[in-house]
Amino acid sequence: MDNPIFIIGGGISGITAAVELAEAGRQVVLIEKEDYLGGNVSNFNNYFPKLCPPSCGLEINFRRIRSNPRISFYTGSEIQSICGSDGDYRVTINVKPRLINNNCTSCGKCAEACPVERPGIPGGKSVEKAAWIKNGLAFPMKYTIDPDVCKREECGKCLTVCDYDAIQLDAQQAGVELQAHKIIVATGWNLYDPAKIENYRYREEADVVTNLEFEKMLAACTRENQKLSRPSDGRLPLRVAFIQCAGSRDMNHLPYCSAVCCSASVKHALTLEAGYPEIESEIFYIDLRLSGRNEKLLKVTEGKERITLTKGKVGRILPSGKENGVLLEVEDIDNGTKRQELFDLAVLAMGLTPAPVAAGLKENEYGFYVAGQLSGIIPTATCKRPMDVSSSVKDATASAIKAMQG
Amino acid sequence: MTGAATKHMALAVCTGCDIGRCIDTDQLIDATGQAFQGITCIKHGSLCSPDGQAGLRRTVMEKKVDRLAVAACSPRVMTSAFEVDGLLVERVNLREQLAWVMEPGHEDTRMCAEDQVAMALSKLDAIRTNDPYIPDPVSSDILVVGGGITGLTSALEGARAGYRVHLVERSDRLGGYAGRIHKLLPENLDSASLKEPDLYKLVSEVTGHPGVEIHLETGIRSISGEPGNFEVVIENSQVSTLHIGAVVAATGWKPYAPDKLAALGYGSGRVKTLEEFEQYVQEEQLPNRIMFILCAGSRDEDHLAYCSTFCCGAALKQALYVREKNPGAEVYIVYRDIRTPGFQEGFYKMVQADDAIFMTRGVVEKVDDQGDSVAVTVSQSLLDDLVTIHADMVVLATGMVPNTTTDLQLQYRLGKGLPELEYNFSDSHFICFPYETRRTGIYAAGTVRAPMDMEMSREDGAGAMMKAIQSIECVKRGEAVHPRSGDTTWTELYMERCTDCKRCTEECPFGSYDETEKGTPLPNPARCRRCGICVGSCPERVIGFADFNINSVSAMIKAVSMPDEFEEKPRILVFVCENDAYPALDAAGMNRLKFNPFIRIIPVRCLGSINKVWVSDALSHGYDGILQIGCKPGDNYQCHFIQGSELNEKRGENLQETLETMMLEPERIRTRFVEITDHHGIMAIINEYMEEIDLIGPNPFKSM
């Protein structure tokens, strides 16, 4: 009997590889560094091109995980080391202090009693406690305590209200050693740091946000049933600018194209158009890269008066000199002019970089992991190259069959 | 209810998570014990705890329980805590959908709890287990149709995973379009020169692998049967039969018909398509001035509305061919957008840096073969208002059109190939589940599924083979595949009452039903996704699953006590689809939104599985309204069974006529759609519906 197939990363790609392998009859172990499965996409508001919620597909996959005895998973865990060789690996993982254990029934009393706050996500609940749960569709459906802000035994209020012996304030980090037949690396992506593009004044301007932050703001609005509000003064932004290729296709930052940002911004503009009759959007692009059937999203924007597509690079964001407002300097390619435009909110369409993982994988010139270099360790999806959700799922499925070979 | 059945039934009530604070669980147990005489009831402060689970299992063993209702949290949590081998378990959601959302101590809350428990026990009485359905004989061999880059990759991956693969190719050679290209992009950008094509390596690995049997110049005469047990008749110089477990359809693409591009000059010998130029470059001398027109007949409502993904990269590569073969040549490229995503961007920069390649955004107004050259007039360019360029040759970057899959010759009542969706691609239309075609065990891969380039095609072929293998392994265990993975129930038909109306056959999204010679529906259980749309479609109520059938749901409906119309306690039956609507209700519960206590919830596999007899059962039992909530239909459908929601809505329209003849208001039956994240929306749907029912008053049949 082979050792299980080990999957690093519990986002959409890791989850897909896990369920596809387990249903094909293989034992699978999945580790995820966050406290919940779902990864980056579980924080999204919707997908392109269907403008549908990520939780829809995630829920089916969570159901498949729940009902399959061949899948075990560790949250709050990261790889420490990998030894051995193809077909016979020994993987050591670090499980961060688990202050709430599996007895948790998600009753929520700990969060009610908890006196400590942690920073919430922009646009979301303004107050989140050290004891918290991701949302109403979280998986696993357990609360968790942030070990970095919790006051532990000094406070202990949660202990007094938990009826289920679920809280261990003295929990320590743990190391676990597991054997693996093959390893699939599905660690996904982070955004390129917007602060590195000094011209965009990301640190100075409250109303300059990244595409991922904007995604989370919209998701919070759906979840909390509230209106979009801009970070500086909480008001509805009436004019929103999307700045494409922010730090991408740029020899000074990311020379490559991240493939998804054009579609994502068009998706955002359409989402705003449908939900907010007051909001106007303008997308500043170099090339509109909506490939394949995503092209139809562009068709949908035609005739929408409140969406403008402008071929032009935003060179700089200038101090507006007003209390609020983001001043863009645009090289308008069609009109051959340089102009300045004031917006209420600017969304930087930042590119994707691979999340680092200690798996001994070779990197290409862009820092992404190269497939086929190590026979038993298989990188998949966005840690290999930027791609959209459908392609990630496809690639994760392809990585599953590779894990079944040899 | 009493007797032999109840003797082996048990109810376990958890008083944890505020359930015990919200309702009097002793009273609940008393009431249940009276309604179900002989049943064993237990109660625990935390059923999911080790102590609670141990106590539960002890009771089950001692009392020889074979049917257990667990009144506690949602079935979506603590799943393995309450799974006991050989035991039929029904979860009653008294937490997310009662204790957290209804008024504690209130009479209406108590009545709701008693009803939901009674519903669960009535269901348990009406259901049973079944032996799994496993086709006999079962094959683990896989058929790959199409010997291009996708099919080759698919076959090799499958063989390497230890499966026997039959690769069928219509022509006399392997490789398809990918086998006829001139050069490849360089590995990395340090190397300026293009690479020699290397498909021959893949071809030799496939032909050399003992696990792959190749059939060239072979067509498919027919595919019949079901996953695990397909009979495939192939024909080359002779006819033979293969026994196959699953199929990968990699039948590829063809270029967009260039004769439709006369407006771009096609028809002149100087104007070529991408494919034609790819061959021309290998055979002929190249002229000195060549213009490439990108998006020729693509992103165009009059031709191909979509983007073919590969053409920008291919055209730029061909521009480099020209520079390599004829260093003195000039190349012009007119584009709308340059689509070189990902790492192809570096290659685009390389082309931009080439002094002899001129690129401009623009719209081609006219292409005019003037005998000694072709005049191309371009507007909206970055150069000038209107500019005319004279070229010796023009290459139109034409798009790709998917081949059909009807060559699979499926002997399915619903058609010979995979259903073609948007733009005729044989795809799933699911972002999260790109391979889930509407034919179980048959997976589309490569350009027949979606526009893609060679690298993407290879990955796609590997992924589709994984799905093919998985479907075989699932069928060998008698289990359904996505989305009801692991389900071992299957469609059972009581043919005595069947009138051959064939609604099941036509409405099944997956083509599970064929027909016998007499025209009677013939189920193929291994094709089935267990959605239950056929259960809902059958006017004679002939179809059911061991744990979800006409009787089991009717029993639940009738288990609810019906207050008379003077008590002003309406009863609304709410059917919720288990995929999106039920989780949305749970999320509403997690967020402590207020639920109306008059609703009685029945989860169903799909809105399409709702049979109209349940609606009439409910009306005659006295329910004031029947609300059905499920996943969104339409072009961007989210319904996991493709058309269940839509069918339910259509059937509802027919039901309106019945309602009218019964002199009942149309509001009594409603279908509404919700997204999984819309827990506020689903509560609004229910509350608005309650208001509608309030206005029209109680069901006039209530006290009859």
Based on the domain organization, do B75 and B188 belong to the same domain? no
Contacts 24+ apart (CB under 8 A), A173-177: A173/A94, A173/A95, A173/A96, A173/A97, A174/A94, A174/A95, A174/A98, A175/A80, A175/A92, A175/A93, A175/A94, A175/A95, A176/A74, A176/A77, A176/A92, A176/A93, A176/A95, A177/A90, A177/A91, A177/A92, A177/A93
Distance from CA of B32 to the nearest CA of A (A): 26
Does B699 fall in a domain?
yes
Other CB atoms closer than 10 Å to residue B173's CB: what's the count? 12
Compute the distance between CA of residue B16 and CA of residue A367 in angstroms, rounded to an integer: 50
Residues of A in contact with B76 (CB under 8 A): 63, 66, 141
Under the banding of pLDDT at 50, 70 and 90, the label for residue B28 is very high
Based on the domain organization, do B423 and B453 belong to the same domain? yes
Mean pLDDT of A196-224: 94
Based on the domain organization, do B119 and B213 belong to the same domain? no
Does B178 fall in a domain?
yes
Burial of B497 (0-12, 13-18, 19+ CB in 10 A): exposed
Compute the distance between CA of residue B83 and CA of residue B270 in angstroms, rounded to an integer: 71
Distance from CA of A92 to the nearest CA of B (A): 27
Does B546 fall in a domain?
no
What are the residues facing B293 on neighbouring strands? B334, B396
Under the banding of pLDDT at 50, 70 and 90, the label for residue A122 is low
Distance from CA of B620 to the nearest CA of A (A): 35
In chain A, DSSP finds a helix count (H) and a strand count (E) of 8, 21
Contact A136 B591 (CB under 8 A): yes
State yes or no: pLDDT of B217 exceeds 70.
yes
Does B542 fall in a domain?
no
Q: Are B184 and B195 in contact (CB under 8 A)?
A: yes
State yes or no: pLDDT of B667 exceeds 70.
yes
Residues of B in contact with A41 (CB under 8 A): none
- Specify the pLDDT at position B287: 94
- Specify the pLDDT at position B227: 98
Q: What residue numbers bound the domain in which B323 lies?
A: 263-400
Mean model confidence pLDDT for chain A: 94
Other CB atoms closer than 10 Å to residue B494's CB: what's the count? 14
CA-based radius of gyration for chain B: 31
- Specify the pLDDT at position B189: 67
Beta strands in A269-325 (DSSP E): 280-285, 307-318
User: pLDDT tens digit string along B575-590?
Assistant: 999 999 999 999 999 9
- Specify the pLDDT at position A320: 82
Interface of B with A in 150-189 (CB under 8 A): 157-158, 160-162, 188-189
Number of domains in chain B: 5
Coil, helix or strand at residue B7: helix
Does B135 fall in a domain?
no
Q: Are B395 and B277 in contact (CB under 8 A)?
A: yes
Question: Is residue B305 less than 8 Å (CB to CB) from chain A?
Answer: yes
Does B136 fall in a domain?
no
- Specify the pLDDT at position A2: 82
Based on the domain organization, do B605 and B674 belong to the same domain? yes
Domain final position from B351, B370, B400:
B400
Residues of B in contact with A51 (CB under 8 A): 636
Instruction: Output the pTM of the full model.
Output: 0.96
Residues of B in contact with A257 (CB under 8 A): 340-342, 344-345
Based on the domain organization, do B463 and B520 belong to the same domain? no
Under the banding of pLDDT at 50, 70 and 90, the label for residue B155 is very high
Does B300 fall in a domain?
yes
CA angle A63, B44, A155 (to 5 degrees): 80
Contact A136 B308 (CB under 8 A): no
Based on the domain organization, do B460 and B345 belong to the same domain? no
Helix axes A389-403, A12-23, angle to 10 degrees: 40
Q: What is the CATH number of the domain that holds B244?
A: 3.50.50.60
Based on the domain organization, do B446 and B313 belong to the same domain? no
Contact B588 A23 (CB under 8 A): no
State yes or no: pLDDT of A123 exceeds 60.
no
Q: What is the pairing mode between strands A144-145 and A131-132?
A: antiparallel
Q: Which of B73, B157, B583 sits opposite A59 (nearest CB)?
A: B583
Tokens in use for B447?
A: 């350009």
Domain final position from B367, B400, B433:
B400
Share of chain A above pLDDT 70, in %: 98
Does B66 fall in a domain?
yes
Compute the distance between CA of residue B643 and CA of residue B660 in angstroms, rounded to an integer: 26
Contact A296 B469 (CB under 8 A): no
Share of chain B above pLDDT 70, in %: 98
Based on the domain organization, do B236 and B293 belong to the same domain? no
User: pLDDT tens digit string along B443-476?
Assistant: 999 999 999 999 999 999 999 999 999 999 999 9
| Helix (H), strand (E) at residue B5 | helix B4-7
Q: Which of B78, B188, B346 sits opposite A255 (nearest CB)?
A: B346
State yes or no: pLDDT of A119 exceeds 80.
no
Domain final position from B73, B108, B129:
B129
Question: Is residue B291 less than 8 Å (CB to CB) from chain A?
Answer: no
Based on the domain organization, do B322 and B382 belong to the same domain? yes
Mean pLDDT of B48-74: 95
Residue position matching structure tokens 């005895």: A69
Question: Is residue B641 less than 8 Å (CB to CB) from chain A?
Answer: no
Closest alpha carbon within chain A to B163: A405
State yes or no: pLDDT of A321 exceeds 90.
no
Compute the distance between CA of residue B573 and CA of residue B561 in angstroms, rounded to an integer: 12
Based on the domain organization, do B408 and B383 belong to the same domain? no
Based on the domain organization, do B204 and B245 belong to the same domain? yes
Based on the domain organization, do B97 and B24 belong to the same domain? yes
Tokens in use for B448?
A: 């027949």
- The b-or-e profile of A59-90 (16+ CB within 10 A means b, else e) is bbbbbbbbbbebbbbbbbbbbeebeeeeeebe
Mean model confidence pLDDT for chain B: 94
Q: What is the pairing mode between strands B229-235 and A337-343?
A: unpaired
Contact B340 A257 (CB under 8 A): yes
Contact B451 A291 (CB under 8 A): yes
